[in-house]
């Protein structure tokens, strides 16, 4: 693997595989808020004495597919619910019902507030394209295409591997590297020519779990050392630092 460095992140790379929420758009915050809303309501409805903490998002949910987030958070509280199915009403007390309840909150906020991408990420995209790199998005979110559209970014990404694609192809979600490897395969490139850019521990672990060119960690709250410990090659607070 090319020695990755913040002073020349592109060296030897042919493509960049971006996570979306928290890397290109500030929508990780919206997910965080929607999860908080879901579990505050759910835990109080079952009379739980241990409430939902902000750290729960980073420890159990961040970067994972929706229903894995529900399952893993509930497991942290010793709660197991029936799985149910994708079409479950948000009022149902199943893994899928709760996930869909959170999704409604997420979509209501996006519909209200819109999505403005991080300016530093927009500049980074432009620089990467001017250097001839191919770009793709690899997101756990089933909402990724809608968020990219709302942010006006969709034209930059010929390949988008989102939660729906992963489900259709039977790919395990992050922290498994499968969705990133699938994106590299779709681009017709070996993994070691593809840079992975991630803000979540589960996503950094996915990138570090295969032979990618490098894994750029973007610290939006997970913590720089935590991302390095998860396998990031290096960590920045904003992608503009690499320009």
Ligand X SMILES: O=P(O)(O)OC[C@H]1O[C@@H](O)[C@H](O)[C@@H](O)[C@@H]1O
Q: Under the criterion CB under 6 A, does residue 200 sit at the interface with ligand X?
A: yes
When the beta carbons of 13 and 28 are compared against ligand X, the nearer one is: 28
When the beta carbons of 61 and 153 are compared against ligand X, the nearer one is: 61
Query: How many CA atoms are closer than 13 Å to the CA of 62, on its beta-carbon side?
Result: 25
Residue 19 · residue 200 · CB < 8 Å: yes
Span between the terminal Cα atoms of the chain, in Å: 22
Q: Is 108 a catalytic residue?
A: no
Contact positions with ligand X (CB under 6 A) in 96-125: 103
Q: Which stretch binds ligand X (CB under 6 A): 59-67, 123-131, 178-186, 190-198?
A: 59-67
Q: Under the criterion CB under 6 A, does residue 21 sit at the interface with ligand X?
A: yes
Q: How far is the CB of 62 from ligand X (least distance, A)?
A: 5
Q: Tell which one of 24, 28, 151, 194 touches ligand X (CB under 6 A).
A: 28
Cβ atoms < 10 Å from Cβ of 155: 8
Using CB atoms within 10 Å of the CB of residue 41, give its burial: 0 to 12 exposed, 13 to 18 middle, 19+ buried. Answer: middle
Q: Exposed e or buried b for every residue in 159-198, given b needs 16+ CB within 10 A? A: bbbbbebbeeeebebbbbbbbbbbbbeebebebbbbbbbb
**Residue labelled with tokens 């309840």:** 101
Q: Under the criterion CB under 6 A, does residue 66 sit at the interface with ligand X?
A: yes
When the beta carbons of 14 and 200 are compared against ligand X, the nearer one is: 200
Q: Is 21 a catalytic residue?
A: yes
Beta bridge mates, 18: 137, 197
Q: Catalytic: which of 21, 56, 68, 199?
A: 21
| 3-state secondary structure at position 18 | strand
When the beta carbons of 103 and 214 are compared against ligand X, the nearer one is: 103
Structure tokens, 69: 């987030």
Q: How far apart are CA 239 and CA 243, in angstroms?
A: 8
Q: How far is the CB of 5 from ligand X (least distance, A)?
A: 26
Q: Which stretch binds ligand X (CB under 6 A): 37-45, 55-63, 218-226, 235-243?
A: 55-63
Q: How far is the CB of 1 from ligand X (least distance, A)?
A: 26
Q: Catalytic: which of 19, 68, 162, 199?
A: 19
When the beta carbons of 72 and 127 are compared against ligand X, the nearer one is: 72
- Active-site amino acid positions: 19, 21
Binding site for ligand X (CB under 6 A): 20-22, 28, 31, 61-63, 66, 69, 103, 139-143, 163, 200
């Amino acid at each position: 693997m090319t020695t990755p460095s913040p002073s020349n992140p592109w060296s030897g790379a042919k493509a960049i595989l971006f996570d979306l929420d928290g890397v290109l758009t500030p929508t990780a915050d919206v997910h965080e808020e929607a999860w908080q809303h879901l579990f505050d309501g759910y835990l109080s409805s079952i009379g739980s004495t241990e409430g939902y903490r902000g750290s729960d998002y980073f420890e159990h949910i961040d970067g994972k597919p929706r229903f894995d987030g529900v399952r893993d958070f509930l497991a942290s509280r010793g709660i197991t619910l029936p799985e149910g199915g994708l079409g479950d009403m948000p009022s149902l007390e199943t893994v899928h019902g709760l996930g869909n309840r959170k999704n409604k909150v997420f979509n209501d906020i996006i519909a209200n507030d819109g999505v403005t991408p991080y300016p530093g990420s927009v500049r980074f995209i432009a620089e990467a394209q001017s250097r001839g790199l191919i770009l793709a998005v690899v997101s756990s979110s089933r909402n990724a295409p809608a968020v990219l559209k709302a942010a006006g970014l969709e034209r930059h990404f010929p390949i988008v591997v989102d939660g729906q694609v992963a489900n259709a192809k039977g790919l395990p979600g992050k922290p498994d590297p499968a969705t990133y490897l699938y994106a590299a395969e779709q681009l017709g490139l070996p993994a070691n020519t593809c840079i992975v850019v991630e803000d979540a521990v589960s996503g950094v672990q996915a990138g570090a779990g295969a032979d990618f060119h490098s894994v750029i960690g973007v610290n939006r709250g997970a913590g720089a050392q935590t991302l390095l410990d998860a396998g990031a090659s290096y960590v920045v607070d904003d992608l503009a630092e690499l320009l």
